[in-house]
Structure 1
Amino acid sequence: MKFIWTVSVLSWASTGRAVELEVGTCCARLHQELGTKISFLGQPAYNATENSYWSLQEAGLKPGCILRPSVPQDVSRAVSIIAAIDGCNFAIKGQGHAPAAGFANIDGGVTIDMTGLNTTSLSPDRSVLSVGAGASWLQVYQYLDPFNVSVAGGRNGLVGVGGLTLGGGISHFSPRVGWACDNVVNFEVQVSFHWQFHGINADSKKVVLADGTLTNVNETWRSDLYRALKGGANNFGVVTRFDLGTLSQGNLSVSSFVNDISQRRPVLQAFTDIVSSPNFDVYASLVVGFLYNSSSKAWVISNSAVYTRPVLHPPVFAELAAVPSISNSSRIMSLVSLANEAPTPPLNWLFATATFQPSAEFMLEIFDILNSTLYSFNPQGGLVWDIAFEPLPSGMLSHATKTGGNVLGVQPEEGNSYIMLLSALWPDSASNLVVEKVSQQALFTIESRAKAKGLLRKFQYLNYAAWYQTPLASYGADNFEFLKRVSSKYDPFALFQNRVPGGFKLAKEGQL
């Protein structure tokens, strides 16, 4: 069967025809090698991938073709073909949660949709879960539920295993076991080039073969790459499988509190008291959020308080629960039920983040900054702002050393802190630039005030960062230089720096 496809790239004014030919050649080669695993514009498989993105920004990009691998070897074959054709760029997609355009999709290149790699299996002693990189966390929790074990994974079950873990990963279990990435005992990863020695030639020079390959990476084998992948995102290769350490887990206690915005002082004081406690309760998982609807000009406070033991009304949340509320509910439930959230409708999204030392007074100032910046801004169709605050306890950070370390750069001796996620959802794509500008203005003001008060932490959580932020550089100079060395070693021709343009790139952040 002969396939005809159309390539459309918005930014090819000067070199469009040449790049179009290269992408066409690349897609033709991939189709020849991988058959119906490659789909083209207008075909059902292509449309299914395009319709699966969380943000309209990502869904609006149109790849020249899409690969949906069913086994890891499909990824290996595809990367080898792509690498051999100059001008053929590609993107790597899991569940498509990242909102920024190009982070998991591409215009005119090749998108590798990993969601077919979702097989899960548990070791005989139930201590290690092996899961394909394209799985969702809900798939993982549904598989593990009968065994009374779990893993440190995403709180929203529709988020993907791959993206969350490679960016660090905050879990309900993180205070107890660390970041999601700290619980990876092995990665199966497609690296760009695997250097193998093949003896010594007549001139007494070592002969090597450069060959893309699937390899296992762990604490004893390629330990430098193992550490780099724990927070280093898509800078080193395509991870096809994660082997995750499990933990014993039954039902959870889940409380939800909704407060009028007039109660922000006692709510933020309760949050600060929990966050700043030197004896942070490792079973506590808390998100406190300001929600603002630009159409109704109404603020509300929403709190999700999860306790990872089946204990109703745990003492750690007592101060928060005592604040007068619009609604207040608590129940015991399974992780599967909690994580099975309804999908959001297709909308434009943005994320931005910052990390702070605990201070209830400064959190009140954050609200004042947000209110003064956002209150009069109401684009066509309206939008919803969601500003979430999440604890980052020092005890959580100590787990990194148990499995070879990570590159996130936050240390237990820095003390407890909290992460802010500033996000927005809106329907009208014509408002994208102005919404982003307003969000940047609010974030800049908040960070400036925090820095002046000595409350701003350098760390930017990659999974919450805006495209214009520099989370990799925020890990600190030593970690950033380490990441660059690992990139040079395992990706000597910079395939994942130059040919995978989406996401946070070492090469780009190193120039800023």
Structure 2
Amino acid sequence: MEEISVCEALIALLGIEKVLVPGSTGYNTSLSSYFSPQAAAVLPACFVTPQTVVDVSTLVKILTSSENGGPHDFAVRGGGHTWFANANSAPGAVTIDMRGLNSIEFSADKSSVSVGAGATWDLIYDKLDPLGLSVAGGRVAGVGVGGLTLGGGISYFGPREGLTCNQAISFEIVLADGSVVEANEKQNADLWWGLRGGSNNFGIVTRINFRTFEQRSLLWSTLTLNPLTEPFEGETPPFYKPILELPTISNALATTITASMSTLAQNSVALQKPQAARYMTATTTFIPTEAMIRATYDAFNSSFSLLEGVAGLMWAANIEPLGVLNLLLKLHYGPVSQKKIIVPNTPLPPQIYKRGGADTNALGLTKQESSLAICLISPAWSDAAHDEQVYSAARSLMSDIEEKAKKLGVYDPYIYLDYAAPWQDVIKGYGEENVKMLQALRKRVDPVGVFTRMVKGGFKIPEES
């Protein structure tokens, strides 16, 4: 059966309002809602927009059926924030757009919140902020709940509460056979563990229950731009005053605010507006010794030569250390000059991957006792003709940083899924023991390998050797 015929069959079964075909307003709106132009350039045969878990179950049964020329490849998207092509859309096939499953419901005592996996974090904060509550969720409006949680999840509340995935009390998930199951600490506990970092390898998550906590105070936030040569001195508030007392490059860009999570999430969008440029990310992990931070800067500085002629480029390496200050190194190629700056940002102490139990997720950080730094490459540029040049430079820079980390004895194989590039072997970085456990889990819940072989996107569990 041709894929377009699958879309026609879905229209007959689910209704034209839930199946968006090329040329329709809904189809074009779905394309324009992706974060990066690279993702938006992928053209599925149709988008399907389920509104209930029953819709999702029906879709999986149809797409995996051997009848009518099946089974058929498909993809699943939530917030659509993953940047690379085919990460959350299936070219010429069916893409399931989960954003219709965006309900937000509280438990009777408001100690937890049940969230549709297609919701975005700003929608959750809009509901929680007026109640003086919050969750350890994403930092940017528009980022999907499902994708961030299944990848681990870094939060402003991480130092106090831990990773986002460790706040997930329970998952509702549609498996490869279309069945709907609940996964929590007592029921399908192996699946609950695997979903905490295991990406889209086991099914389609339709709902997640998160633990809530009181957050009646506003959050304090600051952005300053500082020259590379200044030392860190002084304090105010006790921990942040050294940053504020540094001379800034531009007072107009130095801002200090107290705001709700809703406001902070919306403000973060201004730093990287959807489809305003071409984007990518790649990441690695190391112990942030002084020597390693200096080595990262040296590698970053050396990478400039690979980027000559790239139009509208902002070249950035962001170090998110677990225990010291964030450093954001940037290079702008403009018509007049180049600029290099460091931006100190939010500290993330090592508790971020320990709170909630490092052994209750698949990330493989159980035995790690050192503070870790996640190093993120996050460039932006204007012309698709320079895509491969930027990707190549990013791979080279990542390789250089990793080589330096290994020589200094501070390299860690963990790769943060939500920042990873498509060429990175994320799941392998969770460690051999966890990979074997994930393989066993996949064999139990998806013995045919639907979500490994048929479902586009995500970071797949390695095949058994």
Q: How do 1:185-204 residues align onto structure 2 when only pairs under 5 Å count? A: 185-193=169-177
Give the Cα–Cα distance (whole angstroms) in 2 for the partners of residues 446 and 371 of structure 1: 11
- Asked if the contact 1:168–1:462 (Cα under 8 Å) also holds between the matched residues in 2, the reply is yes
The aligned counterpart of 1:338 is: 264
The aligned counterpart of 1:321 is: 244
Q: How do 1:354-369 residues align onto structure 2 when only pairs under 5 Å count? A: 354-369=284-299
Instruction: Please state if 1:485 is matched with 2:440.
Output: yes
Q: Write the letter of the residue equivalent to 1:119.
A: S
The Cα offsets for residues 120-142 of structure 1, whole Å up to 9 and x where unpaired, read as 11112110011111111000000
- Asked if the contact 1:398–1:412 (Cα under 8 Å) also holds between the matched residues in 2, the reply is no
Q: Write the letter of the residue equivalent to 1:238.
A: I
- Asked if the contact 2:39–2:85 (Cα under 8 Å) also holds between the matched residues in 1, the reply is yes
The aligned counterpart of 2:227 is: 260
Give the Cα–Cα distance (whole angstroms) in 2 for the partners of residues 135 and 90 of structure 1: 20
Instruction: Please state if 1:54 is matched with 2:29.
Output: no
Aligned-residue offset at 1:95: 1.0
Give the Cα–Cα distance (whole angstroms) in 2 for the partners of residues 429 and 94 of structure 1: 25
Q: Write the letter of the residue equivalent to 1:73.
A: V
The aligned counterpart of 1:101 is: 85
Q: Write the letter of the residue equivalent to 1:367.
A: Y
Q: Write the letter of the residue equivalent to 2:23.
A: G
The Cα offsets for residues 342-362 of structure 1, whole Å up to 9 and x where unpaired, read as 333343221110111122232
Give the Cα–Cα distance (whole angstroms) in 2 for the partners of residues 230 and 313 of structure 1: 37
> TM-score, structure 2 length as denominator?
0.88
Aligned-residue offset at 1:322: 3.4
- Asked if the contact 1:191–1:214 (Cα under 8 Å) also holds between the matched residues in 2, the reply is yes
Q: CA RMSD in A?
A: 1.9
The aligned counterpart of 2:188 is: 222
The Cα offsets for residues 144-178 of structure 1, whole Å up to 9 and x where unpaired, read as 11110000100112211111000000001111111
- Asked if the contact 1:191–1:491 (Cα under 8 Å) also holds between the matched residues in 2, the reply is yes
Aligned-residue offset at 1:426: 1.4
Aligned-residue offset at 1:313: 3.8
The aligned counterpart of 1:294 is: none
The structure having more radius of gyration, on CA atoms, is: 1
Give the Cα–Cα distance (whole angstroms) in 2 for the partners of residues 261 and 344 of structure 1: 29
With over 3 angstroms needed to count, the CA separation of the structure-2 counterparts of 1:126 and 1:23, relative to structure 1, is same
- Asked if the contact 1:54–1:347 (Cα under 8 Å) also holds between the matched residues in 2, the reply is no
The aligned counterpart of 1:301 is: none
Q: How do 1:246-257 residues align onto structure 2 when only pairs under 5 Å count? A: 246-250=212-216, 251-257=218-224
Indicate which of 307, 313, 318 corresponds to 1:383. 313
- Asked if the contact 2:76–2:96 (Cα under 8 Å) also holds between the matched residues in 1, the reply is yes
The aligned counterpart of 2:22 is: 41
Instruction: Please state if 1:64 is matched with 2:20.
Output: no
Give the Cα–Cα distance (whole angstroms) in 1 for the partners of residues 275 and 304 of structure 2: 23
The aligned counterpart of 2:206 is: 240
Q: How do 1:16-415 residues align onto structure 2 when only pairs under 5 Å count? A: 21-36=1-16, 37-85=18-66, 86-193=70-177, 212-250=178-216, 251-263=218-230, 266=231, 313-326=236-249, 327=251, 328-341=254-267, 342=270, 343-375=273-305, 377-392=307-322, 393-401=349-357, 405-411=360-366, 413-415=368-370
The Cα offsets for residues 252-284 of structure 1, whole Å up to 9 and x where unpaired, read as 111222112334xx36x99xxxxxxxxxxxxxx
The aligned counterpart of 1:504 is: 459
The Cα offsets for residues 391-449 of structure 1, whole Å up to 9 and x where unpaired, read as 333322222328x7001011365221111111111121121111111111111111101
- Asked if the contact 2:112–2:209 (Cα under 8 Å) also holds between the matched residues in 1, the reply is yes
Give the Cα–Cα distance (whole angstroms) in 2 for the partners of residues 476 and 372 of structure 1: 31
Deviates more, 1:220-229 or 1:48-57: 48-57
With over 3 angstroms needed to count, the CA separation of the structure-2 counterparts of 1:231 and 1:376, relative to structure 1, is closer
Give the Cα–Cα distance (whole angstroms) in 1 for the partners of residues 126 and 56 of structure 2: 26
Indicate which of 439, 443, 446 corresponds to 2:394. 439
- Asked if the contact 2:306–2:393 (Cα under 8 Å) also holds between the matched residues in 1, the reply is no
Q: Unpaired runs of 5+ in structure 2?
A: 323-348
> TM-score, structure 1 length as denominator?
0.80
Query: Secondary structure, in 3 states, of the residue corresponding to 1:126?
Result: coil
- Asked if the contact 1:231–1:407 (Cα under 8 Å) also holds between the matched residues in 2, the reply is yes
Q: Write the letter of the residue equivalent to 1:64.
A: A
Give the Cα–Cα distance (whole angstroms) in 2 for the partners of residues 399 and 412 of structure 1: 14
Aligned-residue offset at 1:375: 4.7
Give the Cα–Cα distance (whole angstroms) in 2 for the partners of residues 506 and 470 of structure 1: 9
With over 3 angstroms needed to count, the CA separation of the structure-2 counterparts of 1:57 and 1:487, relative to structure 1, is same
- Asked if the contact 2:287–2:373 (Cα under 8 Å) also holds between the matched residues in 1, the reply is yes
Give the Cα–Cα distance (whole angstroms) in 1 for the partners of residues 379 and 457 of structure 2: 21
* % identical equivalent positions: 36
With over 3 angstroms needed to count, the CA separation of the structure-2 counterparts of 1:488 and 1:371, relative to structure 1, is same
- Asked if the contact 2:39–2:83 (Cα under 8 Å) also holds between the matched residues in 1, the reply is yes
Q: Write the letter of the residue equivalent to 1:395.
A: Q
The Cα offsets for residues 172-193 of structure 1, whole Å up to 9 and x where unpaired, read as 1111111100000010111113
Return the structure number with greater strand share.
1
- Asked if the contact 2:427–2:462 (Cα under 8 Å) also holds between the matched residues in 1, the reply is no
Give the Cα–Cα distance (whole angstroms) in 2 for the partners of residues 376 and 225 of structure 1: 43
Query: Secondary structure, in 3 states, of the residue corresponding to 1:505?
Result: coil
Q: Write the letter of the residue equivalent to 1:245.
A: R
Give the Cα–Cα distance (whole angstroms) in 1 for the partners of residues 262 and 191 of structure 2: 32
Query: Secondary structure, in 3 states, of the residue corresponding to 1:57?
Result: helix
- Asked if the contact 1:351–1:422 (Cα under 8 Å) also holds between the matched residues in 2, the reply is yes
The aligned counterpart of 2:336 is: none
Q: Write the letter of the residue equivalent to 1:226.
A: W
Deviates more, 1:404-413 or 1:134-143: 404-413
Instruction: Show structure 1 runs of 4+ deviating over 6 A.
Output: none
Aligned-residue offset at 1:473: 0.6
Give the Cα–Cα distance (whole angstroms) in 1 for the partners of residues 308 and 15 of structure 2: 48
Q: Unpaired runs of 5+ in structure 1?
A: 1-20, 194-211, 271-311
Aligned-residue offset at 1:215: 1.5
With over 3 angstroms needed to count, the CA separation of the structure-2 counterparts of 1:319 and 1:313, relative to structure 1, is closer
- Asked if the contact 1:459–1:474 (Cα under 8 Å) also holds between the matched residues in 2, the reply is yes
Q: How many residues are matched? A: 427
